Amino acid sequence: MSDSRWSRNRGEGHRLVVTVVRAAERLQKAADRFLRDYGITVAQFNLLAALAANRDSLPQSEIGTRLVVSRANVTGLVGRLQRLGLCRVDLDAADGRIRRVRLTPEGRRLLDRIEQPYFREIRRLTRGLEAARLQHAVDTLERLLEQL
């Protein structure tokens, strides 16, 4: 393939995708560094936050969809959090086939410890962007997600 064809096919869409991927990689590394002090991974934090946002409980079958991970990854993730005492799995009272993942009091305490430093770090990372730019970026990325 000639360089000119490769160069011609680059446009603003390509630039957006490359920039999003680069930003995501850097944000992932920053999140890993931040959460290391709390003894959890980004995936574990995301699950704990999802549980907290859903009255401390989610059906295990729904976690993969919400976090965009496979069933096998959900099982491993839930297992690791259980071993850390941060969540537990109970059978649903109304339908015993459903396994509900619940935040434990220890998991809630960990999230409470993380909350203020986490949002302070988010403000630090986005401090150079005014609200209108942030909203535009969110709108653009949400439209991109809808198309995927």
- What is the residue-wise DSSP string for the chain? --HHHHHHT--HHHHHHHHHHHHHHHHHHHHHHHHHTTT--HHHHHHHHHHHHTTTEEEHHHHHHHHT--HHHHHHHHHHHHHTTSEEEEE-SS-TTPEEEEE-HHHHHHHHHHHHHHHHHHHHHHTTS-HHHHHHHHHHHHHHHHH-
Closest to 11 (Cα-Cα) out of 21, 23, 22, 19: 19
State the pLDDT at residue 145. 86
State the pLDDT at residue 9. 67
Q: 3-147 belongs to which CATH class?
A: mainly alpha
Mean pLDDT value across residues 12-35: 91
State the pLDDT at residue 4. 63
Q: What's the pLDDT band for 79 if we cut at 50, 70, 90?
A: very high
For residue 62, pLDDT beyond 70: yes
Mean pLDDT value across residues 80-88: 96
The pLDDT tens digits of the residues spanning 109-139 come to 999 999 999 999 999 999 999 999 999 999 9
